[in-house]
Amino acid sequence: MKLLAVTKARSLAFIEVDELNRNGKVRFFDCVASIIEKYQFAVFPQKTEDFDLESKGVRFESGRAGDLAIDSLTIYNRAIVLDTFSNTDDSKRIISEMLEWGKEVLGLTYSPEQITRWGHISDLLFSTEFPLLAEFSSPLQNLARKTSAWTEEVFGGLTYQPLSVTIGHDPTVRKNGIASFLITHRIDTRLDENRYFSEAPLPTDLHIKCLEEFEADVLTSKK
């Protein structure tokens, strides 16, 4: 497996944002200019309707934290979400550093234990030296061959292959679902290029490790 790009490295800090203003001295509107200046955001909230912490969140886009690009920062009532293009470890660190900076400069009443838990989503592009999805399951290979044969008379000579695999949880057991683990062929690429997109509710490094282990399992099953 060869990692081609990290297209999203998202960390979610679950925190009650109201608790960051226990002394009642901070107005969110007063913080925006400082956040923009500190993190060089090119897109930021400007109108009253942009300050919807409950549903849409307050969103900043295209910023920087040192030498790292920030794709977006979204602040909700009970979570802070930050996306980079490098690693979820970077995104998590930036959120923590941002809150510490907010405590020092903006007067937030922040302490690390206010973050009750962390969540992650990572999106990766990668390639393999063999058709990963076409060979990981014999029953699917058989179904693909049969479909190719059944449609040949109508469509002529199309070769069907497994195009994606998705692993998820039962959506009825949780109100707010967790992202599935997805592997699919990269859009607008030939299948024989063996280029893939994957999304997982995991830290970036663990996501990569799972893909490497999946690739190894597929190779083992071919022997």
- What tens digit of pLDDT does each residue of 43-55 get? 999 888 888 888 8
- What tens digit of pLDDT does each residue of 2-18 get? 999 999 999 999 999 99
Would you state the pLDDT for residue 109?
94
Comparison of pLDDT for 199 and 159, the residue scoring more: 199
Domain contains 3: no
Same domain membership, residue 114 and residue 26: yes
Cα–Cα separations (whole angstroms), residue 97 to 86, 103, 110, 150: 17, 10, 11, 58
Residue 104 CA to residue 206 CA, distance in Å, equals 33
Domain boundary among 119, 143, 163: 119
What average pLDDT score do residues 137-160 get? 84
pLDDT at residue 154 tops 80:
no
Confidence of residue 156 (pLDDT cuts 50, 70, 90): confident
Do 102 and 108 form a contact (C-beta atoms < 8 A)? Answer: yes
- pTM, to two decimals: 0.90
Residue type, 186: R
Domain contains 5: no
Identify which of 193, 219, 166, 207 has the alpha carbon closest to the alpha carbon of residue 7: 207
Domain contains 86: yes
Identify which of 90, 123, 108 has the alpha carbon closest to the alpha carbon of residue 11: 90
Same domain membership, residue 93 and residue 19: yes
Confidence of residue 223 (pLDDT cuts 50, 70, 90): low
Same domain membership, residue 160 and residue 75: no
Domain contains 1: no
Comparison of pLDDT for 141 and 79, the residue scoring more: 79
Confidence of residue 25 (pLDDT cuts 50, 70, 90): confident
Domain boundary among 119, 142, 162: 119
Domain residues for the domain of 193 are: 124-222
pLDDT at residue 222 tops 80:
no
Domain contains 204: yes
Domain contains 75: yes
Same domain membership, residue 104 and residue 34: yes
Domain contains 216: yes
Domain boundary among 93, 119, 145: 119
Same domain membership, residue 62 and residue 38: yes
Same domain membership, residue 22 and residue 115: yes
- What tens digit of pLDDT does each residue of 183-212 get? 999 999 999 999 999 999 999 999 999 999
Same domain membership, residue 159 and residue 85: no
Domain contains 150: yes
Same domain membership, residue 131 and residue 92: no
**Number of structural domains, the chain?**
2
Would you state the pLDDT for residue 74?
97
